[in-house]
Structures are given as C-alpha cells and as structure tokens.
Structure 1
C-alpha cells in the first residue's frame, strides 16, 4: 500500500506538471490575460469562489449536522480555489481554455493570500503557513506553465508538435492518479459511510457547479469554465492546511473524499457538456 501511495503521489505530480506544460505550450500570455480583462467576470469568479462557496460549505455542515472535523474540512475546501485540474476539465468540456488557465492562476494566487487571513477568523486557533501553500503551487503549477509559455514564444513551430505528447502524458497520468487515489484511500472512504460526509461532498460539488453556471455569463465556453472551476476545489492547498493544522484525521479524510467525489462527478459531466 505504501508503494501504491507513492505511485499515486508521483502520478499526481506528473499530471500537474505535464498538464501545465501542455497548457503553456499551446497558449500565449496575451491569450491568458485577455479574458481577465473583463473586470465584471473576474469579480463574479472571486465572489463565487471566496464568498459563496465558503458560505455554502458552512450552510451544508449545519443543515446535515456534520461532525465538527468534517465541517472544518469542508470549510477549508470552500476557501481553497484554483484547482490544478481546471484546465483539463475545461479542455474536455470544450470550454474557454485561455480563461480556464487565467482563472486558475488568478484563483491560486488569491488563495495563497486568502487562506492565512480568513481561516484564523473562521476557525480560531488555526494558523496557516502561506509560504508552504505558495511553494507547492508555484513550483508545480506556475513554474511549468511559465516554462510552457516561454517555449511556445521561442519555438513557435516546435510547440504544436510537443503539446500533443505532453497532453497524452497528462491524460495517462490522470487515469493512473485517479485509480490509485481511490485504491489507496478506499478504507478512508468506507469509514465515512453513514456520517453524511459523502452526501455533503456531493451536494457541495453540485452547489459549486450551479453557482459557477449561474454567474458564468452568456458565453457557453466561459460558463462551462466558471461552473467546473467553482465546483472543483484546490485539493493541494486544502491538504496542506488540513494536514498541518488539525490532529483529527477526519479533517484530511473529508478533503480526500470530496476531491474524489469531484473527480468522479466532474469528468463525465465535462464530457457531457462537450457533447451538447
């Protein structure tokens, strides 16, 4: 099981890095920054991810009478935006890929500053190390994305041939990662049956999708990205906070469970959107 867990970690790293390299090698800085010039859309994305989702997590925990550790974990997820899987989901859903990458970067950067300020106010006694969150996001996501963008700018003829290779690596590693996460955490998933935690995770993902869809505007590609991006939370940031600040393992378990539920729900949903 230790080897499987290690393999899952490696698969996750390969997926995140290869997908960011692939995204960067297919886009330009102007393409990413252009959608973020829509101030109203950016405001709605921030509202959805940093106001409505934390409120939704808090409300679900109260309505479903979740145990306190599960409620805390759900709130941590509600405050953690900028999912590394968003560009892949947007690509599968045939959404606005440039907006997906731009929104991911924007939400990641805000999350790094937002968590250390907001979580101690919502959960007294919690301290959040912003640098530890920022370090993983910068090294694994922003840096590969920047490398891909530079490669695209300097080797414009070569980039279209390299991007499909990187995309294939990302696709294979995503499948491997999902299977290994489910296998290695199967016992933890079984432990939450009967606690309403899985129901809370399902409703949380559905709520995020609905919020993003309603606030996504009239453009179909942008609306799909907003819906998927609001529903899929930043598991990397959430796990850093959950593992470093809470002794009860249930806080980490709910983060893992909800993230698995999100992958199981959103990937088929993205494919369904693409077929519309």
Structure 2
C-alpha cells in the first residue's frame, strides 16, 4: 500500500506541474493585459471565485448535512477555482475563449495561495472536529511551488521563445490529460467502496446543486457580451483538483473516504458542466448561422 500511495503522489505531482506549465505555455503577456484591463469584470470574477464559491460549497455541505469526509471534500474542492477543464467548457460553448482561458489560469494561480487558508478557515468554523485541520503553511508552499512557479516559468518561456513554448505545451498538455485520468482512476480504485456508498447520500445532489449555483452566479455577476458572460459562468463550476488532492495526501494521509467524495464531486461537476456548455454551443452555432 505504501508503494501504491507513493506512486499515486508522484503521478499527482506530475499532473499538477504539467497542468500549470501548459497553462503558462499558452498564455501571453498581451492576453493577460487584455483580460486584466477589464477592471469591473476582474473584480466580479474574483468576488465569485474567491468569496462566493467557497461559501456556496460550505453552505451546500451544511444544507445537505454531509458526513465529515464528504463535508471536507466539498470545502476543499469549492475552495479551489481555476480548473483547466473549465476552459474546455468555454470552448465547447463557443464563448469568449481567450477571456475564459486567462481568467481560468489567473484563478488557478491566485488559488494556489488562497486555497489552504480559505479551506482551513471554513473547516474550523464548521467545527468538524479537533483532528480535522490543514497545515496551512506547508500547503501554501507546496501548492505554490507546484502551481504558481510552473505557470510563471511557462509564461516567461512563451514570451522569450514562443516556438519552444508551443512545442513544450503540446507535450505537457498530453501528459497533463493522461495523468489526470490516472489520478482520477487511482482515487476511484483506492476508494471504490466509499464512492459507491456516496450514491445513497446527499453528496451527488450537493455537487449538482453547487455546480448549477456557480454557473448562475458566474453568469449574473459578470459584465460584457453574451460570449464573455458564458465564459465567466462556465469556468466557475469545475474545481482545480490538484490542490485538493495534495491536501488529502498531506493533511489526511490519502483518506479513502475523502478521496472517494472528491472523485464523485469532480465527476458530477463535469456531468453538470458538459450538457450546459454543449447546449450553449449549439445555440451559439444556430445564432451564427442565422446572422450569416
């Protein structure tokens, strides 16, 4: 078991690093400046991602009276905005891809610093038990090194040597996608019984409700064109799973019940996000044809 846990943590580290490297390799200074120049939109996106999003996860966990492992999983995941899959939902919806991608990586980068204190504050306020807490300093350092540093390296590489960045980005993108599947499969296999048991609880419904609420908040608390509003809406429901998995490994010794809950919640974030983005994409395609 120690060997399997060690391999899982190695693959998890590779997934986190390559995900943020890929984001950096595909981000230019011009894109960052263009997105960040929309001051009111930046403020709204940050408000939704770093204030309302954790509160939604906490509130839904309370409303559905989740057991401690599932409660912890909800708090961890909803304190982690900026999932790369969110940018793919934006692409599927034919929304404002550039704005969505830049905000997604901005949320992931900032979230690498805010995740641990936010989650720990909520866990403490929820009074889940004396033995349920996060080593905030260790997590900030670990996640910042695994997320923020690779992203900065990627952006600088894109600025200085764009051709090499494109080549590296194609490779790291493939590695990121493949290792994400391995991480999910490892979490699922290591906690299969816990995942199955969750289907008889409120965890699945809690994940669905929280995802729908975040899409709505991302749409209504936004500004700009319809395409921009859909981009800010669709990057909200999906969680940047790397920090959450890292927290479970560091603070909870890869607890199978928490891992099972995280896996189930991530799955149903996708289950909600994909149909919505596909519906919007078909609608946008029909509007484009009508305009032509």
> What interval of TM-score do these two structures reach, taking the shorter chain for normalisation?
0.7 to 0.9
Q: Which residue of 2 aligns with 1:201?
A: 207
Question: 1:74: which partner in 2?
Answer: 74
Which residue in the other structure is 1:104 paired with? 108
User: 2-side partners of 1:171 and 1:61: how far apart?
Assistant: 29
**How many angstroms does 1:212 deviate by?**
1.5
Work out which of the residue numbers 186, 208, 217 in structure 2 matches 1:211: 217
Counterpart of 1:228 in structure 2 is: 234
In 1, distance between residues paired with 2:227 and 2:11? 29
Q: Residue 266 of structure 2 corresponds to which residue in structure 1?
A: 259
How much has 1:31 moved relative to structure 2? 2.0
Correspondence 1:93-172 to 2 at 5 A? 95=97, 96=99, 97-123=101-127, 125=130, 127-172=133-178
Distance in structure 1 (CA, Å) of the matches to 2:247 and 2:170: 35
SS of the residue corresponding to residue 254 of structure 1 reads helix
SS in 2 for 1:128: coil
1:225-263 CA deviation, whole Å, 9 max, x = no partner?
Answer: 422332122434344555626998645543332123224
**Contact preservation (8 Å) 2:84, 2:104:** no
Instruction: Tell me if the contact between 1:79 and 1:115 (Cα under 8 Å) persists in the aligned partners.
Output: yes
Q: RMSD over aligned Cα, in angstroms?
A: 3.6
Task: Tell me how far apart the structure 2 counterparts of residues 4 and 248 of structure 1 sit (CA, whole Å).
Answer: 14
Q: TM-score, normalised by structure 2?
A: 0.74
Shift of 1:165: 3.3
Question: Where does the alignment leave 5 or more consecutive residues of structure 1 unmatched?
Answer: none
Secondary structure at the counterpart of residue 194 of structure 2: helix
Query: How far apart are the structure 2 equivalents of 1:258 and 1:198?
Result: 7
- How far 1:222 moved relative to its partner? 3.6
Give yes or no for contact 2:70–2:203 (8 Å, CA) kept in 1: yes
Answer whether contact 2:15 2:242 (CA < 8 A) is retained: no
Q: Using a 3 Å threshold, how does the CA distance of structure 1 residues 265 and 186 change in structure 2: closer, same or farther?
A: farther
Distance across 2 between alignment mates of 1:77 and 1:173: 19
Q: Does residue 21 in structure 1 map to residue 21 in structure 2?
A: yes
- Give the count of matched residue pairs: 276
Distance in 1, Cα, partners of 2:260 & 2:185: 17
Corresponding residue SS for 1:216: coil
TM-score by length of 1: 0.78
